[in-house]
Each structure stands twice: as structure tokens, then as C-alpha cells.
Amino acid sequence: MTSAPEIPRSATDVLNRVFGYAAFRGEQREIIEHVIAGGDALVLMPTGGGKSLCYQIPALVRDGVAVVISPLIALMQDQVDALRTLGVRAGFLNSTQDLTERRRVEQAFVAGELDLLYVAPEGLGVPATQRLLDRGRIALFAIDEAHCVSQWGHDFRPDYLNLSMLHERWPDVPRIALTATATSATHGEIAERLDLTGARHFTASFDRPNIQYRIVAKNEPRRQLLDLLRTEHPGDAGIVYCLSRASVEKTAEFLVQNGIPALPYHAGLDARVRAANQSRFLREDGLVMVATIAFGMGIDKPDVRFVAHLDLPKSVEGYYQETGRAGRDGLPSTAWLAYGLQDVVQQRKMIETSEGDFAHRRNLAKHLDAMLALCETVQCRRGQLLAYFGQTGAAACGNCDTCLNPPESWDGTVPAQKLLSTVLRLQRERGQKFGAGQSIDILLGKTTEKVTQFRHHELSVFGIGTELREAEWRGVVRQLLAQGLLAVEGDYGTLVLTDESGSVLRKEHQVMLRREPERAARAPRARTG
Ligand code: ADP
Ligand code: ZN
């Protein structure tokens, strides 16, 4: 027998000895073996599924240095530190470094003294970086957060478009692209744009069975949140997402005033404060992070027990990714979203006034519509969520609000007609446009100051809607907006008819609506720990 100079390490060996885990999860083994053997791979796995090992283990088994492309510059240091504590030789190159530091990493790369090198996508476009990579031995390319290549996705990074050059310049180096968010449409787009059409595709189930999905009608969001935290999540760590910086600050203050330890996080805070809050959230127990969506990408905290949204996410992809930060440890967790009429008005307005061409705005509207459909569904939320990601045919899950507390659907055609004809009459007879509040006051026959001022009590529709309460009318308006049967425009969110409104007024269209459960019954479940 000839003596082997170096015993090649097996993937299982590395898993056990370096990472300290007993067994592979899901398809990790197949993916890792495929990449070690030199194959290209496109991996779709939900957040927390264990994507990192899929390239970190091949990095240690294959000869040379694995080059990891990641947009998460702020997290590179953490990722590299975490690997170093395991004895893995890792380094990174990005714009936050000084020249000496950079030179050191470059030398280590060329000398083959690294197992993994993290680089930002913009760095790869620089000829000097490309020449540097030519001087070393590359084990593989890992393209993390690969959905950033999709122009129609929610997280587009132009620098990702250049990554198809990896294959042209280094045709023999295997590539693995990974993402936690991809509908079948973006999936195809990723494969095409990264020149990975010949790659083997690995798609893990997107189901996160331990997460209980709940979407409730928003009336007093902060109170509702406090109620949720006090009754179901006392002492638990969690994330609360708000749309604006101001509401992040206010909500964090509100929680603290009510005895719940909370920290704010948004892009307007000083970088040091942000970093400090993030690291406290990761290290301490039972903190609530109140944040804009600037927070969370790449954050690995296993015991986040709840993710609450006080405002409507812009897309199902975003919602899924954000809620996916709950319960990475597999224990029961809650994804809770409060959503109301104002969310629809505000988001439609943001799309209307957004920069970008018509196609861009239409794309934003499509994303929003899918999110609204999820909010208004009377079917299993999980089923709808999975169907959005191409996993159809799942049975009702028994662990979401619509399964646990089925909402009624009711024929809202008549109220819809009453509301639409109010909008129509204001416009036709008076040449006026008003927001939801005024239209509802008219339907309820309220003689407010504004009603008297505009003589709206003289309209034939005045007081014809007393069969519903105000909150129910708001639900009707919200759902008509969600279904595209009504629209809002302008700075004040005035109601206007759409092309489809006519079919309702002409009685050609039955309008099915969702009746909110009186008070969202608390979901029963066994609490662990
Ligand atoms: P993703 O990048 O898909 O969101 P990570 O790679 O960060 O997920 O992994 C999520 C968590 O699961 C991490 O804490 C990781 O250490 C852990 N993990 C991954 N694979 C395994 C495994 N085979 N056994 C045990 N824990 C694992
Ligand atoms: Zn369900």
C-alpha cells in the first residue's frame, strides 16, 4: 500500500468533528456530496433549514478555497468569527476593511491558507479581485441569497447580474447558489441569470410546521401586540416589524413603558447603537427587537418565539422570510400580523408614487395583491403560503388561525353595491371624492359636521347601510380594495371606482367577503419551556 500524504476527510467527519453535529438534516447530505463531486447546485431551503453547511462542508473537503458571495457585508465579520471559533480558516474582503487587513487576507488566499473567503458581490466586478482569484486555487463558488439576482423579486441587487461571469471565467469550478425565497418564477429566473440551468436543483419543503400563522384585523395595534406578548409570550424573545422608523421608536418605547424589555433597530440609528442592540438581542434572553425590515437578514437566533408585524409586508416573499426567523429551534412559535384598511391605502399609495416605470409598479402591485390574498383568505394560511411557493395540495394544517378558528365567508354583494354606489354618487352627482371614513358615515346615516357641510344627508344613499357596524364597513372597504373592486388615489387616500366596480354595480359579480371572528380566539397549543 502506498501511503497517502493526506487522508481526504469525509463530509460526515467534518459534520461531526468540526461542526459538532450528529447527523445531516433534510437533503444536506445529497447536496454536499453533489458539490464535493464537482457538480453545480441550486438550493432552495427555508430560513433556518441549514444552508450554510451545504457549502461550508464542501469547502473543507475540496481542495482550495471556497469563495462565498454574500450581500450581507455587515454580517461577514460575525460569520467569519463564528467559523474561526470552530477552527475553520475563514476571511473576508469587503469595503469596510483597511488596506493592511485586505492585503493580509489576499496573501492568505493566494497561499492557500484559507478554507473560505467571503466577498461582496460588488467586489467581484473589480478586475483586481478577479486577478487575485486567478492567483489562488478555488474550491467552489457559493452564491448566497441568490434571489438577489431576480429583478422581479423583492431584494434585487444589480451586482448579482454579473455573477454569470463566474462560470465563463472559471468554468471548472463548481457553483452552489442558495436562497430561502423563491417562487417557481424566480426560481427559473435565478437558474437562468446565474447560468445554472444545468445545475441540479434541490428544493426543500417550505413548510415550517412549528410556526403558527395568524393574521388579525388591526384596530389598536400596540395594545393588541401587548396583549399577545403578555398572554402568550411572557419573557420570550421576539421581533416586531414596523414600516417606519418613527413607529419603531414609538412601539419600542410603548413596550418598555409596559414592562417589556424592547430595543429599537432601524437604518436611521447610529451604526454603533444598531450593532449594540443587535448583539444584545442575540446574546441576552427574552429581548424584543422592534425593527424595520433592515433588521434580520442572516440573523441566526434559534429561540425567537414570535415575529409580529404591525404593518403589512409588501410581498409574500418578504412576509415568509421575516416570519421564518421565528422558531429555528423547531419549538412552537407564533407569526402574528395585524392588518387593516389603512395598510391597503398606504401601500397602494406608495406604489402609485414609487419611482420606476409602469412595469415596475405593476410588479409591486402584483406582490401586494398576493400578500392581500393571503390576508383575506378563508382557507388555511399555511396551505395558501405553500401554494404561493409552488407546493400545492397540502391538507389544512390545523395550526393557523383560519384552521383553528375558521372565519365565515359571506355574500357581501349588497353591501359592496351600497358602498360602490356611494362612491359613484359622490363622484357623479357632486364631483367629489372622499376617503373611506366619509363614505362609511354616509352609509351609516351619521350627521357629522362634515356630512352637514357637504349636504351629504341629501344623497339618496344616506343611511342605507345601517345593517353593518362601522368596523364591519371598514372590513368591506378593505376587502374591496384587496380584491381590486375599489381603488384609492391621491395623498388623502380617496376612494375611486375601478374597471371592475361596474360589474358589481350591475349585479354581474358576486362579492364574497370574510367575516372577522368577533375577537380572535386564542389558539390552543402546548407551550414548551
Ligand atoms: P439558513 O442559512 O438556511 O437560514 P443556517 O445554515 O444558518 O440556516 O442553519 C440554521 C441553524 O441550524 C444553525 O444554527 C445551524 O448551526 C443549525 N444546523 C444546520 N445544519 C444542522 C445539522 N445537520 N444538525 C444540527 N444543526 C444544524
Ligand atoms: Zn392552517
Residue 410 phi, psi (nearest 5): -135, 160
Could you tell me the distance, in angstroms and rounded to a whole number, from the CA of residue 346 to the centre of ligand 1?
37
Closest CA to 222 of 251, 263, 249, 257: 251
Angstrom distance (rounded) from CA 23 to CA 21: 6
Give Cα separations from 516 to 201, 319, 378, 512, 513 (angstroms): 41, 21, 10, 13, 10
Whether residue 481 contacts residue 344, with contact meaning beta carbons closer than 8 Å, is answered with yes
Angstrom distance (rounded) from CA 329 to CA 355: 40
Q: Which of 16, 18, 24, 25 to mutate to test the pocket of ligand 1 (most atoms within 8 A of CB)?
A: 25
Q: What residues are paired with 495 via a beta bridge?
A: 488
Angstrom distance (rounded) from CA 257 to CA 117: 45
Residue 522: the pLDDT is 47
Angstrom distance (rounded) from CA 524 to CA 90: 46
45 CA: nearest ligand 1 atom = 3
Q: Which H or E element spans position 143?
A: strand 138-143
Could you tell me the distance, in angstroms and rounded to a whole number, from the CA of residue 417 to the centre of ligand 2?
32
Residue 224: the pLDDT is 97
- The reply to whether the predicted model has a pTM over 0.80 is no
Residue 355: the pLDDT is 84
Could you tell me the distance, in angstroms and rounded to a whole number, from the CA of residue 526 to the centre of ligand 2?
17
Residue 529 DSSP class: -
Q: How many CB atoms lie within 10 A of CB 201?
A: 15
SS3 305: strand
Residue 182: the pLDDT is 65
Complex-level ipTM: 0.97
Residue in the structure block whose three cell numbers are 458539490: 35
Residues counted in the chain: 529
Could you tell me the distance, in angstroms and rounded to a whole number, from the CA of residue 49 to the centre of ligand 1?
6
Convert the pLDDT of each residue in 73-96 to its tens digit.
878 888 899 999 999 999 999 888
State which residues of the chain have pLDDT below 50.
Answer: 1-6, 520-529
Residue 449 phi, psi (nearest 5): -60, -40
Convert the pLDDT of each residue in 246-271 to its tens digit.
999 999 999 999 999 999 999 999 99
Q: How many CB atoms lie within 10 A of CB 332?
A: 17
Closest CA to 486 of 499, 494, 475, 497: 497
300 CA: nearest ligand 1 atom = 7
Residue 484: the pLDDT is 87
Angstrom distance (rounded) from CA 252 to CA 210: 27
Could you tell me the distance, in angstroms and rounded to a whole number, from the CA of residue 161 to the centre of ligand 1?
28
Name the closest ligand to CA 11.
Answer: 1
24 CA: nearest ligand 1 atom = 23
**CA 515, 517, 518, 519 torsion-angle sign:** negative
Q: Where are the beta strands (DSSP E) in 218-364?
A: 237-241, 262-265, 288-291, 304-309, 333-339
Name the closest ligand to CA 407.
Answer: 2
Q: Where are the beta strands (DSSP E) in 322-407?
A: 333-339
Which residue, judged by its Cα, is nearest atom 17 of ligand 1?
Answer: 50
Residue 346 phi, psi (nearest 5): -65, -45
285-324 burial string, b = 16+ CB within 10 Å, else e?
Answer: eebbbbbbbebbbbbebebbbbbbbbbbbbbbbbbbbbbb
The dihedral over CA atoms of 399, 402, 403, 409, expressed in degrees to the nearest 10, equals -170
Angstrom distance (rounded) from CA 76 to CA 97: 11
Q: Ligand 1 pocket: which residues have CB below 6 Å?
A: 21, 24-25, 28, 45, 47-53, 300, 302, 328
Angstrom distance (rounded) from CA 170 to CA 193: 16
Could you tell me the distance, in angstroms and rounded to a whole number, from the CA of residue 38 to the centre of ligand 2?
41
